[in-house]
Amino acid sequence: MNDRFIARIASELSVPSTKVAATAKLLAEGATVPFIARYRKEVTGSLDEVAITSVRDRMAQLVELEQRREAIVKSLTERSLLSDELKAAVASAETLSALEDLYAPYRPKRRTRATIAREAGLEPLAERLLNEQATLDPTEAAAAFVNAEKQVANTAAALSGARDIIAERVCDDAAARARLRELYWAAGTARSKVITGKETEGAKFKDYFDWNEPIAKIPSHRLLALRRGEEEGILLVRITPAEEEALTVLEPMFVKAPRQPAGEQVRLAVVDSYKRLLGFAIEGELRVETKKRADDTAIRIFADNLRELLLAPALGQKTVLALDPGFRTGCKTVVLDRQGKLLHHDVVHATAGGPNQIREAGETIRALVQKFSVEAIAIGNGTASRETEQFVRTLKLPAHINIVQVNESGASIYSASEVARDEFPDQDITVRGAVSIGRRLMDPLAELVKLDPKSIGVGQYQHDVEETALRRGLDDTVVSCVNRVGVELNTASKQLLGYVSGLGPALAANIVAFRNQNGPFHSRKALLKVPRLGPKAFEQCAGFLRVRDGEHPLDSSAVHPERYDLVDSMARDLGCGVIDLLRDPALRTRIQPEKYVTDTVGLPTLKDILEELAKPGRDPRQQFEAFTFQEGVEKMEHLQPGMKLPGIVTNVTAFGAFVDIGVHQDGLVHVSQLADRFVKDPAEVVKVGQKVRVTVTEVDLERKRIALSMRANPQIGAAREQRTSPGGPHQPQGPGPAGQRPKPVQRPAFNPAADSWAALEQAFNKPSQP
């Protein structure tokens, strides 16, 4: 383990180096983030998952940096270019940019103008121009280098070649690159222009046809929008500071006699270097780094939204009747038992057809409710959902039956997936989709892990984000959520088991196969009989798996098997059994945790154990509460500005939140309308799945757009007014009058012109349904 890495990470994260070293050691030994956070608190000093993940990721970055450093040293050594001074500089480089700057002059290059000039013997002339600026006569000096055989026809050609050599030196100079990089970050501006002839094709990017914004202030969603417009061939995008500022930085570094002829030659070379080489090189770096930062923001937003969705309250083990609504094709209807097993499926025409069909639909649903003792009804929130809900409510079913609309995003993707085919090989995709809707009500986490998170529709510019980083971020989130809730070993799907600490797809499949062949597990220790599941995997996974009514009373709890003996000791000391500790609070109050502290077990672990004894296997998710949309408001045509409605947050982005108010079209609460105070980050105020009350401020039926507010006294119709006033208050709006340029950005999170509905629609990437 590299001590230098440990010290650096400790400094960056403001965490004691001993904690970083211990965490890094556990990670290197194959421990997972959830396991370390939950069961190794004494070792890490109770670092949480965020800190442990940061240690893991930063360690990987530093290892990558070290590998690049070694490759550079090897390359320089093989070519006999590694001086003691250069070796020391390479060894002390703290960032990849600094390392590459040092290597730039020595990097093998393709044939360049400077290469050709060197081959023509002009390097001595370039040296004289740089070193004798105050006294050298450039024309006289260049005359000695005129050589027809080397294609140096005259003194002008000689000076031009010398300037090419100087320009490349300027581009490769580490100090010049560092200074210019600082300027680009501090004063660089993102500018975009529409490519001539692309105005109609690229109408959705109209706000960016003539746009500029400081790169230091541009929010992630706008940067990604610019990049998308560029990639689609609509926009031409540059990220640069003012040319005069860049030259003001560079010229003094190389031009020592600006009023002398030789100094003028050097100045021309510096200008050429900036315009032809160095400016583009630094801009390229900036593009990569700003894209990475925008990706990081987008991934964080996506992961936060996904976490809220996965940890949504679960109805629990109830017999559920699920309806996938439809008009012409009817409503696919399924009944699931308390474990989510399909008991029955049918089709009812509850929203279209003649009176007889509607009457028969009602009779069918009543009969199914009675026959299977249905405890809840789940209705997908797609087409005909409100009509279906209204129909079901007219049936006057028993009052204890919850009727709940369920977000069905991605259900059709699941129904056509290999996972669904494995589960229901004899059912068509409509049945599978209805089953998914019902199971989402029972346990959102268990069902949603079967989907690619990108198909759930809670991201921001998710299709523009670097795929590997997005996958890693989302996988971390799913793993965290699954292990936080815990998994029932005898009912979990292999997809859910695959996210349990220490398992993965292969071992998860082995567990399910073993379970199918041998029947349910009766204890956690029986996991060791599963093929290829050894002691290390058992250590990592056992605490997160639950065995209801297991051989040991703690098999259904989050107490790790490695601590069963400790709890047994507590029970013996009190003259009772473990089961008595679980049942009797008075007994638990007599436990003195300090008595059980050892070299490996400290108070943090003992506190967790005592909390678990009080509520063994508790679900950390909030208690389920049914939600109902406003009765009588089922279509956009029913909306009127000023209406106050209940809604559910379906997506949170950098610029606001989308809210389902039950009209088949989500409305937008812009960040400026989330509260009666300044809100920098919408996630401070709202979360996916949160129940909110909103006011309708504008309805655009033609474009299917709804503007909402969560302010106490919103300005009704303000969004429409803003579309004709790009410089006004921060409200969602469309493009301004033709030819009107946007006014300067007034806040990093939102610009009235750029964040028009067109831009917002791009950001709200709901996946297409097959």
Q: With a threshold of 0.85, does the pTM exceed it?
A: no
- Specify the DSSP element, H or E, that contains 513: helix 505-518
For residue 731, the model assigns a pLDDT of 31
Q: Which amino acid is at 714?
A: P
Burial 365-396 (b: 16+ CB within 10 A, else e): beebbeebebbbbbbbbbbbbbbbbebbeebe
What would the two tokens of residue 244 be? 């005069």
Secondary structure, 3-state, 246-290? HHHHHHHHHCCCCCCHHHHHHHHHHHHHHHHHHHHHHHHHHHHHH
> How many CA atoms within 13 Å lie on the side-chain side of 714?
28
Q: Which amino acid is at 436?
A: S
Summarize pLDDT for 550-573 with one digit per residue, the tens: 999 999 999 999 999 999 999 999
For residue 4, the model assigns a pLDDT of 83
Q: Do 593 and 606 touch, CB atoms closer than 8 A?
A: yes
CA 43/CA 36 separation, integer angstroms? 9
Question: In terms of C-beta density within 10 A (0-12 exposed, 13-18 middle, 19 or more buried), how is residue 214 classed?
Answer: middle
Tell me: pLDDT of 163 over 50: yes
Summarize pLDDT for 633-658 with one digit per residue, the tens: 988 999 999 999 999 999 998 889 99
Average pLDDT over residues 38-65: 93
Confidence of residue 120 (pLDDT cuts 50, 70, 90): very high
Residues near 556 by beta carbon (within 8 Å), at least 6 away in sequence? 546, 547, 548, 549, 550, 616, 617
**Number of residues assigned to the chain:** 770
Q: Virtual CA dihedral for 453, 459, 461, 463, nearest 10 degrees?
A: 10
Distance of CA 504 to the CA centre of its chain: 21
Neighbour count for residue 567 (Cβ, 10 Å):
23
Q: What are phi and psi of 109, to 5 degrees?
A: -115, 155
Q: Do 633 and 662 touch, CB atoms closer than 8 A?
A: yes
CA 140/CA 638 separation, integer angstroms? 86
Sheet holding 342-348, edge to edge: 342-348, 331-336, 320-324, 376-380, 402-406
Least confident of 192-201, 522-531, 535-544, 756-765: 756-765
For residue 721, the model assigns a pLDDT of 39
Average pLDDT over the chain reads 88
Q: Do 104 and 172 touch, CB atoms closer than 8 A?
A: yes
Confidence of residue 333 (pLDDT cuts 50, 70, 90): very high
Distance of CA 350 to the CA centre of its chain: 40
Q: Give alpha helix (H) positions in 372-493.
A: 385-394, 411-415, 418-423, 429-442, 444-448, 467-485
DSSP state of 147: B
What would the two tokens of residue 302 be? 């996506």
Place of tokens 């609070």: 585
For residue 460, the model assigns a pLDDT of 67
